Structure 1
Amino acid sequence: LEMHDDEPVVELQRVDHDSRVHLDIESDDVEAEARRLEALGAKRIAVIKTWVVLEAPTGQRFCVILPQRHGKVGPHANVWE
């Protein structure tokens, strides 16, 4: 799917778990973000190379990954301090 350089990237991929949607959350501190999400109720499933796979209490799996578009944060991006 075509997006602006500073908008979220949407990709399609086949997954081997029940959830039909898989989100990747970019963070410059993957471990700290994973711990924050665990404190909110997520369960750590795996650590793979430089990313962490988590599962929400609802069963939705997602990953915390390093930023994929360095220097491309712009007016369409969400940033939390």
Structure 2
Amino acid sequence: MHLAPYSTAYAPAAELNTEGLADFLRGFFGPLFLVTVSVVALFFLFTKEVTRFVQFLVIAIIVGVIFYVPNIIEALARAIASALGVV
């Protein structure tokens, strides 16, 4: 069986639509992130490790802000690039 060069078997794939991907990932990983943070925080509280609890809470807040505030990653990248003199 001979296929023509532009037959449907060799047709290029449709463009990948990534619109809404960030929202989907935030909706999927958001609750998982919150549950994990809650379990680890409760573990530190029940073992009476207050210093580690506070350290973990600060890190969790920083990670949450980086991933859930819109456009913060782009703003941080621009700020770092301008501070280093790249831009």
Work out whether the TM-score is over 0.5: no
If asked which structure has higher relative contact order (CA below 8 Å, sep 6+), I would say 1
The TM-score range, normalised by the shorter chain, is under 0.3
Greater per-residue strand proportion: 1
Q: Taking structure 1 as the reference length, what is the TM-score of the superposition?
A: 0.23
Query: Which protein has the larger Cα radius of gyration, Structure 1 or Structure 2?
Result: 2
